[in-house]
Amino acid sequence: MKAKSLVLLLLAIATLAAADVVQVEGYGLTISQAEDDARRRALEIVEGSYIKAVTKVEDMQTVIDLVISRVSGFVRIKEILEKGCEGEGQARTCRVLAKIEVLRKDIEEHLKDLMIEIGEPSVGLLITESYRSAYGSCSYPGKLHFFTASLKELLVDEGLKVPQTEALASYNEKLKSEGASRKDLIDVSLALADIVSYVFAVKVQYTGRYVPDYDVCSVRMVVEANLVRADTGDIVKSYSMNEVAAGATPEAAIKKILLKSMKPFAQDLAEQIYIDRAIRALSDRSLRVRLNLKDPEMVSGVIETLQERLVNAKAISVLNRLGDVVILSVITRDSPDDLWKEIKDACSDRYEIELGRISGKMVEVNVLSQIAQSIKETYLKFKLAKFTLSKKVKECLKSINGVEILGRTSLKPYTIKVKLSIDVEDLIGALEECKAASIELLDMAEDGSWFLFQVK
């Protein structure tokens, strides 16, 4: 009996050790908001250091709301000590004083698993550096590598992996020789998704000029850059820099600029990568679908088809359109492979499509053509609440593209023979959305030879 009591006591001690209870205040426009604020503050007090360590994000405010949404069940209000509200409207302030229990062990295990799943971030550097001399004797004939070497060293110091592979080198040379559009940048990023988690594409232009009054070279460094998620092609952040320095040689001037500017630049870049990584780990997961359209006119129809028929998709939205390329965000439970299968099934009777590739979290789909809809004759039967509604029914039918009225065949029920060159689903949807009358489908033949509607 004593042994059993000792075991129970040890379990109780272990449970208490894994949880902290803190007393905090919370504020908001309502008591509910004030309680949420108290829970958020308690989490930051107890686990702020751990969250910073595991996410590597210094600014807690950027991730604390995401963390609390993920671990809300582990941050509990044990007791409300005080609560009340003052003021009205936007000036209203509610306050609570509460004891909050924070289950540290559960939170730390959950966050650790999420960050392991998303993986350590790595960034591929695609940097082009060029130099031109405006006038005078400030030319630089050597190989330009200053920005690249400096940035790589600083990013490694920030804890990031910066691999250099043949694939990165070949893509870098391609961008140097051909230049890069937004579309090219997305293509390159997706192609590198198996190597790195981010791509940082940078164009650096140095312009040197001789200043005879001081016998020095003045060099201006202009930087344009984009940080891109490799697995989706999303641009996370764009950067620009414009700095000037003077030195005895162009190299000396460039080194002065880098000494002054590169460390804060690299720190901001690293922080942005860690923030984005944390957001991806803590937010709802989404996939990207890239539609390569042979005919851009098909875009609205394809998107409508996907929105209507992708059963497992919570939401579908257009992120970007670049000519004949459209990037969609799809929040779904599917894996990329399963999403492709669902897209293929959804479009099977409307569009001829083929898989381009699956890269990271991007499914690339080539939309080749629209499948001509078979034209068939059918009978539309309408149960009219009153016969005068027959005119409204005809108005509705005439307003629908792809419906040709062939004639009336019966009065009871009111029946019209039509020729259809649209999907049955589109016909039913258009009739039910018609503003001229309230129309609802009651029944239909399995072979689509007739449909029965109620009209009010």
Nearest CA among 346, 347, 356 for reference residue 325 = 356
Nearest CA among 178, 180, 218 for reference residue 199 = 180
Instruction: Tell me, yes or no, if the two domains 2-117 and 286-370 fold the same way.
Output: no
Give pLDDT, residue 179.
Answer: 58
Note the CATH number of domain 2-117.
3.30.1660.10
Q: What is the per-residue pLDDT across 411-444, written as a single tens digit (0 to 9) for each?
A: 778 888 888 877 777 778 888 888 777 888 888 8
358 pairs with which residues across the strands? Answer: 363
**Spacing of C-alpha 11 from chain mean position:** 43
Per-domain residue ranges of the chain: 2-117, 123-282, 286-370, 376-455
Nearest CA among 386, 431, 421 for reference residue 444 = 431
| Residue 400 DSSP one-character state | S
Tally Cβ neighbours within 10 Å of residue 109. 13
Distance CA 187, CA 120 (A): 23
Whether 346 and 313 have beta carbons less than 8 Å apart is answered as no
> What architecture does CATH give domain 123-282?
3-Layer(aba) Sandwich (3.40)
pLDDT, block means (10 residues), the chain with 456 residues: 39 49 93 91 91 83 80 88 88 93 89 80 89 77 84 92 78 64 76 86 91 90 91 87 93 93 93 88 78 87 86 80 84 83 88 86 89 74 84 85 81 84 77 80 78 85
Distance CA 203, CA 296 (A): 31
Does the domain spanning 286-370 belong to CATH 1.10.3470?
A: no
- Write out the two tokens for 450: 């007739």
What is the value of pTM for the model shown?
0.64
Tally Cβ neighbours within 10 Å of residue 218. 19
Distance CA 126, CA 234 (A): 16
**Burial of residue 327, with CB atoms counted within 10 A of its CB: 0-12 exposed, 13-18 middle, 19 or more buried:** buried
| Residue 297 DSSP one-character state | G
Contacts of 64 (CB under 8 A, 6+ apart): 40, 43, 44, 51
